[in-house]
Amino acid sequence: MVQMKDVFKTYENGTKALKGVNIDIKDGEFAFLVGPSGSGKSTVIKLITGEIAATDGKVEVNGFDLNSMKFSQMPKLRRSLGVIFQDFRLIEDKTVFENVAFAMRVVGATNKEIKKRVPYVLELVGLERSVKCYPRELSGGEQQRAAVARALVNNPRMIIADEPTGNLDPARSLELMMLLEKINELGTTMLVVTHEKELVNRFSKRVIAIDGGRIISDGMDGYYSYET
């Protein structure tokens, strides 16, 4: 769940990234956040993950009030989120299994829990045969699926995918989006940031369009008409 109310963000260099943004994403929803480069998409993501704080306005994520939250609470917020990046961000000297297990280790899971959960998640994303591979031995699509498995492994309430298809070809992109849709159907809230119009328009989902730091449209028709 994400609730942003009249959120402003001005960076230290004076850039006004957000100028009064209102976003409300309910539990279990699937939403695309679309907009051109520099529109404020990344700022929205960083506010949700707690990387930066809002200059003004209210931000609430999965029940955590980010305006009044202590820094020591940050790990708890992040454990309720799964994040997928455009550049995958896998650790190069760890195998696929270790990369996913690592996310569980971080939250204090036991070896027994890890051995049970990781193969299940890797099977869900279709990587059961690549458990012992290193990231460099995988294709882009497979690396992104490993990143999805890592985001998913701690059973987060919400997954945020920041340009997840940016480094993938159209076929792999579609495959990945279908995987994210499947995960959403299992109950996880999904926020996908992208500027790939065709891909967005293939799915009938909610589309939130942002430009110049303002929300310019928010519709359930799944249509992305804004020109980038």
Partner 1 sequence: MRRNNFGYYIKEGTSSIFRHGFMSVASICIIVACLIIMGSFALLALNVRSIISTLESENQILAYVDDAVSESDARALQSAIERLPNVQSAHFISKDTAFQSFKDQYEDKEFLEDMESSVLRHRFIVYVDDIAQMQETQEALRGIQGIAKVTAHLKIAQGFITVRNVVSAVSIVLVLVLLVISLFIMSNTIKLTTFERREEIAIMKMVGATSSFIRWPFVVEGMILGFLGAVIAYLIQWGLYQVIADKLVGNTGLSFLRVLPFSYAAVPMCVVFLVIGLGVGVIGSSTAIRNYLKV
Residues lying near partner 1 in the complex (CB under 8 A) are found at: 49, 51, 75-79, 81, 83, 89, 91, 93, 102-103, 105-108, 110-111, 150, 154
Nearer to partner 1, 51 or 123 (CB): 51
Which whole-number Å values give the CA distances from 203 to 30, 126, 172, 181, in the listed order?
10, 22, 15, 9
Nearer to partner 1, 6 or 51 (CB): 51
Give the nearest distance from C-beta 96 to partner 1 in angstroms: 14
Give the nearest distance from C-beta 215 to partner 1 in angstroms: 25
Nearer to partner 1, 93 or 227 (CB): 93
Give the nearest distance from C-beta 110 to partner 1 in angstroms: 5
Q: How far apart are CA 228 and CA 223, in angstroms?
A: 14
Give the nearest distance from C-beta 87 to partner 1 in angstroms: 10
SS3 161: strand
Give the nearest distance from C-beta 159 to partner 1 in angstroms: 12
Nearer to partner 1, 77 or 174 (CB): 77
Nearer to partner 1, 104 or 209 (CB): 104
Nearer to partner 1, 12 or 93 (CB): 93
DSSP letters, 95-116, are: -HHHHHHHHHHHTT--HHHHHH
Residues near 64 by beta carbon (within 8 Å), at least 6 away in sequence: 73, 76, 77, 80
Q: How far apart are CA 50 and CA 210, in angstroms?
A: 20
E-only strand ranges, the chain: 2-10, 16-25, 30-34, 56-61, 64-65, 81-84, 158-162, 189-194, 206-211, 214-219
- Show the CA angle centred on residue 25, arms to residues 154 and 42, nearest 5°: 75
Give the nearest distance from C-beta 22 to partner 1 in angstroms: 26
Q: How far apart are CA 112 and CA 92, in angstroms?
A: 24
